[in-house]
Amino acid sequence: MNTSLKPFNTFGIQCNAAQIVNASTTEQLIGAWQSAMSAGHPVLILGEGSNVLFLEDFSGTVILNRIEGITVHETDDAWHLEVGAGENWHQLVCFTLERNMPGLENLAMIPGCAGSSPIQNIGAYGVELSQRCEWVVCVELESGQVQRLSAAQCRFGYRDSIFKHEYQHGYAIVAVGLRLEKSWRPVLNYGDLTRLDPETATAQQVFDSVCRMRTTKLPDPRIQGNAGSFFKNPLLAAPQALRFMATHPDAPHYPQPDGSVKLAAGWLIDRCNLKGQRIGGAAVHRQQALVLINEESATSDDVVALARYVRHKVGEKFNVWLEPEVRFIGAAGEIDAVEKIA
């Protein structure tokens, strides 16, 4: 019997899976995967469904990774956390602040589970997971072999990691190791954070400011379905960035260590006057152009059509081609999101 996936994707898209399994231990996760494989069924491992768009019914087994637990080991210069993949990310941030372990406050209110954070190398307001990650434990599902990858082995990039490449299929993240330095300094480079005094700002003040910014700019998925930032902020190689900035000097831009320049996708979309743009039941959010919302019983086709429209409008105006940050899931698994909206 089909099982609804609507409660398990923050877009609130109605679709079904052949089977949904809760896995609260590594052994349960391995067992569910191997059982589905032996039956010849597709498998999707899901956290909280905060970064996925289901394009159609999933024809196999969806395994909900619900492995929990947080342990802390303290050394002279840092706190070392081992976090179960199924722990809610924002609750983890709150956990660390309540225990006076700063370092994650810029990443407050990012939806999803801890186990999903390395896949995307989540980031916000000047901090990325890669700066706090010490290691990731994953399991090779066919053999049941557990591997611990160092942060360097995870090959973190902008919204990228090894878990989107060699470790995308046949592996599952079961725990994440974080290192929070005791020699904490606030990161105040973005948004309202720039108003705080770096000499006196506390982690709690940073947390409160981030929560305020996210609450005022981003829709609550419990009220209005969405998957957060729909598009990645585009990275331009140095020569293209120079040409772009010559014609658009007012554009927010962030130079990267490798010489490339990151642009603000929301600014590009906004300059195309697309806030409020609607196709079917899907719309561009009126406060934050980077977010596509399920405004009124949207279908996945509505969201895809809107994403394609936005991508082409931005591409025609700026010659910058946006790529989805959201993962697109078809009947048998993840598909190429860029290809889908090209």
Instruction: State the catalytic residues.
Output: 159, 229, 325
φ and ψ at residue 339, rounded to 5 degrees: -60, -35
Cα dihedral 108/336/288/106 (nearest 10): 20
What 3 state SS string does 281-324 have?
CEEECCCCCCEEEECCCCCHHHHHHHHHHHHHHHHHHHCCCCCE
Q: Report the distance separating Cα 70 and Cα 80, nearest Å.
A: 10
Q: Across the beta sheet with 282-284, what order do the strands follow? A: 225-229, 291-294, 282-284, 278-279
Q: Report the distance separating Cα 289 and Cα 267, nearest Å.
A: 7
User: What residues does 72 pair with on adjacent strands?
Assistant: 81
Contacts of range 254-258, beta carbons closer than 8 Å, 24 or more positions apart: none
What is the DSSP code (8-state) at residue 218? S
